[in-house]
Amino acid sequence: MKGYVITFFTQQDRRHHGQLLGEWLVNLAREMGLPGATLIVGSMGYGHHRRIHSSHFFELADQPQEIQMAVSEEDADRLFQRLEAEGVHVFYVRTPVEYGSLGGEES
């Protein structure tokens, strides 16, 4: 299939409607029936403000996170319409890809 890998970049302490933003995005993908979403925790990074974000022993709130989804063009359009309606502020990268599955069904 042709579609997109959408990667959202945030940090552990960001919230939307009282829920951690990374978890909220994964739950939104599930609620919308998207094929899947993965939350990846990073050890260090920086963003447009050039401030270092990292996981420290005493403070994990600043830990960087990525949320990745491989979706069809239609699902990407629906997702971004929903994010706009929700007023979500998050940086993303949307990359055109070909995706699919190999082998039989998993049990």
Does residue 104 fall inside a structural domain? no
> What is the CATH classification number for the domain harbouring 78?
3.30.70.120
pLDDT confidence of residue 68:
98
Residue type, 45: G
Give how many domains the chain has, as a whole number: 1
Q: Which string of b and e fits 35-65 if b means at least 16 CB within 10 Å?
A: eebeeeeeeebeeeeeeebeeeeeeeebbbb
Does residue 89 fall inside a structural domain? yes
Does residue 23 fall inside a structural domain? yes
pTM of this prediction exceeds 0.75: yes
pLDDT confidence of residue 104:
81
Enclosing domain of residue 22? 2-98
Q: pLDDT band at residue 63, thresholds of 50, 70 and 90?
A: confident
